[in-house]
A and B are shown apart, each in its own frame.
Chain A
């Protein structure tokens, strides 16, 4: 699982199985892709309102809940005014 090593100390975006989107700094991970995020925030998407960010702080997410971990391009991310983004939430995983 060496593939998560490059994300340590980077700002990342997590998508969880229940469709939640969480951004934060990855401070650690393990073999089972359990992940620790600091300064994390949940981004709540909806069609009829802009994106809402809820601060969550220090978060330990179990590996089996994770769908995707993406490295954020900070320049692009900070340039986006989340308040203007309207989108459907990401659907939960259906097997």
Chain B
């Protein structure tokens, strides 16, 4: 799973961002880009020493100044599930018979990996590794 996929999935989720200078920002992710530039809303900022606090309505952080981001544990499963769905959809779109998004709704064999799409088995059509 790519770090940027995780970040993209974190939109509207709470996160903690520490900068290289030790300042931290707690807030909800509004937006992000491929450089990991981010905007947060409803932010609590602390200084490097951790003894002063500021509340900001919104802030922009340049990706290159970030040390790390801490995101909710639940995001991991959300991203994995989303990737499985995207992969299954990709397979479905290339196989005949199935059309569009409402394929397989309520079908008994939902959920498990593999099995569906018969002739399309094999190396093609899987998501990227990692």
Binding site for B on A (CB under 8 A): 5, 8, 16, 18, 27-30, 34-36, 38, 56-62, 64-65
Within the complex, what minimum Cβ distance (angstroms) separates B84 from chain A? Answer: 14
Contact (Cβ within 8 A) B1 A60: no
10 pairs of residues in contact across A and B, judged by CB atoms under 8 Å = A5-B129, A5-B130, A16-B67, A28-B1, A34-B3, A34-B4, A58-B6, A58-B70, A59-B68, A65-B68
Residue of A8, A34, A59, A62 touching B70 (CB-CB under 8 A):
A59
Number of interface residues of B (CB under 8 A): 23
Contact (Cβ within 8 A) B67 A18: yes
Task: Tell whether B59 is near chain A: CB-to-CB under 8 Å.
Answer: no
Task: Tell whether B93 is near chain A: CB-to-CB under 8 Å.
Answer: no
Within the complex, what minimum Cβ distance (angstroms) separates A25 from chain B? Answer: 10
Binding site secondary structure of chain B = mixed
Task: Tell whether B2 is near chain A: CB-to-CB under 8 Å.
Answer: yes
Binding site secondary structure of chain A = strand
Within the complex, what minimum Cβ distance (angstroms) separates A51 from chain B? Answer: 20
Q: Please provide the 5 A-B residue pairs with the shortest distance between their CB atoms, ordered closest to farther.
A: A28-B1, A34-B3, A60-B69, A61-B68, A57-B73
- A30-B70 CB under 8 A given contacts A8-B130, A58-B75, A62-B36: no
Within the complex, what minimum Cβ distance (angstroms) separates B34 from chain A? Answer: 10
Contact (Cβ within 8 A) A60 B6: yes
Task: Tell whether B72 is near chain A: CB-to-CB under 8 Å.
Answer: yes
Inter-chain CA distance A52–B72, complex, in Å, is 22
For B89, list chain A residues within 8 Å (CB): none
Task: Tell whether B85 is near chain A: CB-to-CB under 8 Å.
Answer: no
